[in-house]
Amino acid sequence: NRLAMLIIPLTGKISWRNPPVITICIILINCMVFFFFQSGEKEIFYGAKQFYFESELAEIEIQRYIEYAKPKTKDNPNFKEHKELDEETLVRYQIQMDKDYGFLKRLRNDEIITSKDPVYAKWKRLRNIYEDKLSKVVFIKYGFRPAYKSLTASFTYMFLHGSFGHLLG
């Protein structure tokens, strides 16, 4: 019963003689992770995204994503053909593509862009650079992402926070 009170103080008052030790330790771990491991990661993340859109990777992948998603979206009035893509539309498609785990799995397994494709070598090189840049982002590497199930991430994501306000809350 005393162990349960250390984790969840169900009864009794919190005092200096009876502090919630485990709760305080979890708060300190969260603060250390946020201030030491996660500091500066937004810049790294935005740098990776900037590389994605400034290299030809966005045009290559998003064009393929549109072809892949076209049968699902042909009745959708918001669906645009590749010729109509402006910067805002490219970003919207990239966000949508990042959430399409089936597409991403097929893309990474070279099923969308195959070795017979003329842009394969260029795409593979750019994709590897992009993945390397993303792997340096703490919330990508250790955060909970349903498409990338990991025993480690199922524990580490609890200590990650998106902003100081999130940590404070």
CA distances in angstroms from 151 to 43, 71, 137, 145, 146, listed in the order given: 27, 35, 18, 11, 12
Q: What was the pLDDT predicted at 125?
A: 96
C-alpha dist (Å) from residue 123 to 44, 57, 169: 21, 6, 42
Per-residue pLDDT of the chain in tens (169 residues, 90 and over written 9): 455 555 555 566 667 777 778 888 888 998 988 898 888 888 999 999 999 999 999 999 999 999 998 766 555 555 555 456 778 888 899 999 988 889 999 999 999 999 999 999 999 999 999 999 998 988 888 888 776 777 888 888 888 887 778 878 7
Q: How many CB atoms lie within 10 A of CB 106?
A: 15
Residue 78: per-residue pLDDT = 54
Q: Residue 13 and residue 113: Cα distance in Å, rounded?
A: 62
Neighbours of 52 (CB within 10 A): 20
Q: Per this entry, what is the length of the chain?
A: 169
- List, in order, residues 6 or more apart from 127 with CB less than 8 Å away: 57, 61
pLDDT confidence of residue 22: 84
Q: Give the up-direction half-sphere exposure of residue 43: CA atoms within 13 A in the CB hemisphere.
A: 2
Residues 127/121, Cβ–Cβ less than 8 Å:
no
* Under 8 Å between Cβ of 90 and 58: yes
Per-residue model confidence as pLDDT tens digits over 45-82: 999 999 999 999 999 999 999 999 876 655 555 555 54
Cβ neighbours of residue 15 closer than 8 Å, sequence gap 6 or more: none
